[in-house]
Copies of this chain bind each other. A is one copy, B any other.
Amino acid sequence: MQREPSIRIVVQAEDFDPGQEEALLHDGDLHIGGSAAFVGRVRADGDDLLALTLEHYPGMTEKSLQALAEQAAERWQLSGVTVIHRIGRLLPGERIVLVLTASAHRQAALTACEFLIDALKTDAPFWKCEERTRGKHWVEAKAGDNNARQRWANHE
């Protein structure tokens, strides 16, 4: 009765289409009641941001996203998880990341989506380098992201 959750992890330079991914994740599984998605975009933080460059750790990045997706799928009994993260140089307004979760029940899909975007920000090896009018610099990790991650730790 219960299918194995379908997990799709992609790290790519190209943009993605959240609607197409929703359709792909659904893919004729009629027991999916809904899906939750988070799409992150490059925010024009401070108005002088020219671009972001995303670096990753090929191999480890995909493995860590796969592990997080499997953990979420088990914890919230998801039908499927899609995580797409872009790398390379991105301009303000461009999409960076998609987290998509499908479940029979909306609460599970929404909570798992929130867990995954929080966990990705602290556990997956990606680094952002900002190009601003006054030069380039590597973004420092935010305490807030660690706090958001910590919320989920009690039940792991």
Contacts and interface: CB of A to CB of B under 8 A. Distances in A.
Contacts of A43: 30-33, 104
B34 A38 contact: yes
B37 A41 contact: no
Given A37-B37, A39-B35, A30 B93 contact: yes
Interface in A74-130: 92-93, 104, 106-107, 109-110, 113-114, 117
Interface residues of A, number: 33
A59 interface: no
A35 B38 contact: yes
* Chain copies in complex: 2
Contacts of A44: 30-31
Interface stretch (A4-12, A17-25, A65-73): A17-25
B36 A37 contact: yes
B107 A26 contact: no
Contacts of A107: 114, 148
A58 interface: no
A135 interface: no
Interface of A: 17-22, 26, 28, 30-41, 43-44, 92-93, 104, 106-107, 109-110, 113-114, 117, 148
The 7 closest A-B pairs by CB, nearest first: A19-B19, A30-B44, A33-B43, A37-B37, A18-B19, A34-B40, A17-B19
